[in-house]
Amino acid sequence: MPGTPFMLLCKLYPEDVAEELIQEVTQHLLFLQVKQAILSMDIYCPPEASVLLASYAVQAKYGDYDESAYKPGMLASEDLLPQRVIDQYQMTPEMWEERIKIWYADHKGMSRDEAEMEYLKIAQDLDMYGVNYFAINNKKETDLYLGVTALGLNIYEKDNKLTPKTTFPWSEIKHISFDDKKFVIKFVEKTVSNFIFFSPKGMNKLILDLCIGNHDLYMRRRKPDTMEVQQMKAQAKEEKQRRQIERNKLAREKQLREAAERERAAMEQRLLQYQEEIRLANEALRRSEETAELLAEKGRVAEEEASLLAQKATDAERENARLRLSAIRTEEEKVHLERKTREAEFLTARLVEESEKRAAEAERLKAELVAARVAEKQAKEKLLNFLSRTSNGSLPPPPAAATSLFPSTCSLPAELGEAAGAASGASDPELNSYQLVPDDSDPHIHRLSLEIEKERVEYLAKSKHLQQQLDELRCEFSVLRVEQGGATLDRLHEAQARAGDDKYSTLRRLKQGSTRTRVAFYEEL
């Protein structure tokens, strides 16, 4: 019908998007299809991976993150996360936008096709990517799902579309056919019994068409490229190189423009700074002029005060000279008076000394006089005795002269003795010296060794930094998760993550058994 909208979808998914998507338009169409499948929840995507994919989708649509142009709420109208993820956590739209913006800012410098390719690289590692599910039954009429993929056929349980129970690679399958509802798959190994399942009649042609297409591409990938494909790859490579050169040129021009803008901003900033400095200098000059006027006025006042002080100093100098002259005269009179006083004191001392000598002489003469009188008295008594004896008898004649007795003075010398004290010696105290010996032992250094295993696994495991970011985001989300049991796919994914399994490790593990064993396992489901 005219005007009826319709959608063009990729029927066959590439095995490796980085190698098989040659033209940019094909990559863009597959990006839109996978993005819509994730948002519509046809492909299960964990919450942390949903945020990362949303950041790449924003980068592909808006280009590099510009903090000046970014407005809060700009991503609110965008359909970026599956509704299942939004309902699963107690987070507002602003919180989701903030987490997407953090990762969006890390993708700076990434072009649209690069962002879309990174989106597809992560999406192709999701368990449900590139799987076309069809409801089937085995001979025991067990409800199962058949998954047609680029690598082969997977068998899923009814309630688990994430982890296949068994798988059959295209390299093991030889022939596929159906008859009414019965589908028969024959293997390359002839000893293995046929793989038989039953599906709705209307789906058989679609299943067969998908099997033929995926098998054909599977075998074609493992053969040398045709001339047409080589030419397309060469043209695509040249186109990518040309775009890369243009992007580098634009990046250099952008860097130069940003550098010029930064320089202009710096010059404007310096201009504003210089203007501010000029304003401050003019203000300082004005204050200096006012200060100079005040200082000039103070100078005039100081000169007047200095003149008055000089006049007072002159008067004081005259008065000081007069006082010095008067003091000199007074000093001369004082010296003369002191000399007279010293002469009078000397004369007085000499007179006192002479007086003491005269007094001592008088005392001495007085003592001699007393002694003479005593001697005279004694002589008189002796004379009277002698006369009395002569009157009584004949006595010898008296001596011719009487002897006078004069006492003699004797001086006793006084000897003074002086003793000296003994000197004592002091000994120096003993000095002890301590030497501090620093401990120069080297600090113990622990060296950590990191071993990195390299294996061809999902894109998230290839980037350790990206995996750490996803783990941190997963831990952060676990706190904000709604306290409910969660959807079936969420529980299955968590169990798979706890076991350390992923899409590729599960397929490798399922392929370890023989084809016969896997067919028998399928029949017993």
Give 294-323 pLDDT, tens digit per residue.
Answer: 888 888 898 888 888 888 888 888 888 888
- Distance of alpha carbon 499 from alpha carbon 513, whole angstroms: 20
Q: In what order do the strands lie in the sheet with 166-169?
A: 166-169, 152-157, 143-148, 132-137, 195-198, 182-187, 173-179
Question: DSSP character for 137?
Answer: E
* CB-CB contact of 215 with 174 (8 Å): no
Sign, CA torsion 81/83/88/93: positive
Structure tokens given for 316 = 């004081």
* CB-CB contact of 117 with 17 (8 Å): yes
Q: Which of 36, 120, 44 is nearest to 85 (CA)?
A: 44
* CB-CB contact of 408 with 371 (8 Å): no
Residue ranges and CATH numbers for the domains of the chain are 17-129 (1.20.80.10)
Angle among Cα 57, 62, 64 to the nearest 5 degrees reads 100
For the stretch 252-294, pLDDT in tens is: 898 899 899 999 999 999 999 999 999 999 989 989 888 888 8
- Distance of alpha carbon 75 from alpha carbon 93, whole angstroms: 9
When pLDDT is cut at 50, 70 and 90, the band that residue 451 belongs to is: very low
Determine the pLDDT at residue 430: 36
Determine the pLDDT at residue 395: 43
Determine the pLDDT at residue 380: 81
Q: Using CB atoms within 10 Å of the CB of residue 389, give its burial: 0 to 12 exposed, 13 to 18 middle, 19+ buried.
A: exposed
Give strand pairing partners of 148. Answer: 132, 153
Determine the pLDDT at residue 32: 93
Question: DSSP character for 401?
Answer: S
- Distance of alpha carbon 204 from alpha carbon 183, whole angstroms: 8
First and final CA of the chain: distance in angstroms?
45
Determine the pLDDT at residue 129: 94
- Distance of alpha carbon 525 from alpha carbon 509, whole angstroms: 18
Determine the pLDDT at residue 471: 72
For the stretch 96-132, pLDDT in tens is: 888 888 888 888 888 899 999 999 999 999 999 999 9
The phi and psi torsions of 33 (rounded to 5 degrees) equal -65, -45
Determine the pLDDT at residue 396: 47
Give strand pairing partners of 169. Answer: 152
CA distances from 259 to 250, 256, 262, 268, 342 (A): 14, 5, 5, 14, 104
The phi and psi torsions of 196 (rounded to 5 degrees) equal -120, 135
Angle among Cα 35, 41, 43 to the nearest 5 degrees reads 70
Determine the pLDDT at residue 237: 85
- Distance of alpha carbon 11 from alpha carbon 208, whole angstroms: 13
138 contact partners, CB below 8 Å, separation of at least 6: 144, 196, 197, 198, 522, 523, 525
185 or 68: whose pLDDT is higher? 185
* CB-CB contact of 186 with 174 (8 Å): yes
b/e map of 192-206 (b: 16 or more CB within 10 Å)?
beebebbbeeebbee
- Distance of alpha carbon 210 from alpha carbon 146, whole angstroms: 12
Return the CA Rg of the chain: 66
For the stretch 397-436, pLDDT in tens is: 444 433 333 333 333 333 323 333 333 343 343 333 223 2
- Distance of alpha carbon 441 from alpha carbon 4, whole angstroms: 85
The label of the residue with tokens 């397309």 reads: 232
Extended strands (E) in 149-204: 152-157, 166-169, 173-179, 182-187, 195-198
- Distance of alpha carbon 249 from alpha carbon 267, whole angstroms: 26
Query: Which ranges of 446-513 does DSSP label H, i.e. alpha helix?
Result: 459-462, 464-480, 488-498, 503-510
Please report, to the nearest 10 degrees, the dihedral formed by the alpha carbons of residues 229, 231, 235, 238 taken in order.
110
- Distance of alpha carbon 479 from alpha carbon 94, whole angstroms: 17
Highest mean pLDDT among 122-131, 476-485, 496-505: 122-131
* CB-CB contact of 106 with 25 (8 Å): no
pTM above 0.85? no
Question: DSSP character for 81?
Answer: S
Average pLDDT of the residues of the chain: 79
When pLDDT is cut at 50, 70 and 90, the band that residue 3 belongs to is: low
Q: Which amino acid is at 374?
A: V
Check pLDDT > 50 for residue 27: yes
